[in-house]
Amino acid sequence: DQQVKQNSPSLSVQEGRISILNCDYTNSMFDYFLWYKKYPAEGPTFLISISSIKDKNEDGRFTVFLNKSAKHLSLHIVPSQPGDSAVYFCAASEVRNQFYFGTGTSLTVIP
């Protein structure tokens, strides 16, 4: 039973434009959400997180939005750069240090 879903396996965006990656979850008890970026043959790298008490968190080019009523999370990357091409995973947790991950979205930024 996949509690965190990323329904778009892939996304292609032109360099300089906005990339929007989406994530849905089913467990209303999740209270902490994260996005990770993963290159082939490497472990996931933490990007940005958000607590359920917020609806937005920004860090440079990356912004995460949380819509608790819709159980929806999104990551915006503006402007997108070719180096952003990677697989992006969203993750959620109810219990500290136990994360449920989505299946990932492969982002390709076209120069």
Partner 1 sequence: KAGVTQTPRYLIKTRGQQVTLSCSPISGHRSVSWYQQTPGQGLQFLFEYFSETQRNKGNFPGRFSGRQFSNSRSEMNVSTLELGDSALYLCASSSSIRGNTEAFFGQGTRLTVV
Task: Please identify which residue in the block is written with the tokens 């180096």.
Answer: 83
Dig out the tokens for 16 from the structure. Answer: 């300089």
C-beta of 9 vs 82, nearer to partner 1: 9
Q: Which of 97, 111 has the CB closer to partner 1?
A: 97
Cis, bond preceding 9 (omega within 30 deg of 0): no
Dump the DSSP string for 44-58.
-EEEEEEETT-SEEE
Choose between 18 and 95: whose C-beta lies nearer to partner 1.
Answer: 95
Residue pair 14/100 in contact (Cβ under 8 Å)? The answer is no
| Residue among 13 and 91 whose Cβ is closer to partner 1 | 91
- State in angstroms the smallest separation of the CB of 1 from partner 1: 9
Whether residue 91 contacts residue 101, with contact meaning beta carbons closer than 8 Å, is answered with: yes
Residue 80 CB, shortest distance to partner 1, in Å, is 23
Q: Under a CB-based contact definition with an 8 Å cutoff, are residues 56 and 66 in contact? A: yes
Nearest distance, CB of residue 111 and partner 1, angstroms: 27
Which residues contact partner 1 by CB under 8 A?
A: 2, 4, 31-32, 34, 36, 41-46, 49, 51, 89, 91, 93, 95-104
What is the closest distance, in whole angstroms, from the C-beta atom of residue 91 to partner 1 in the complex?
Answer: 8
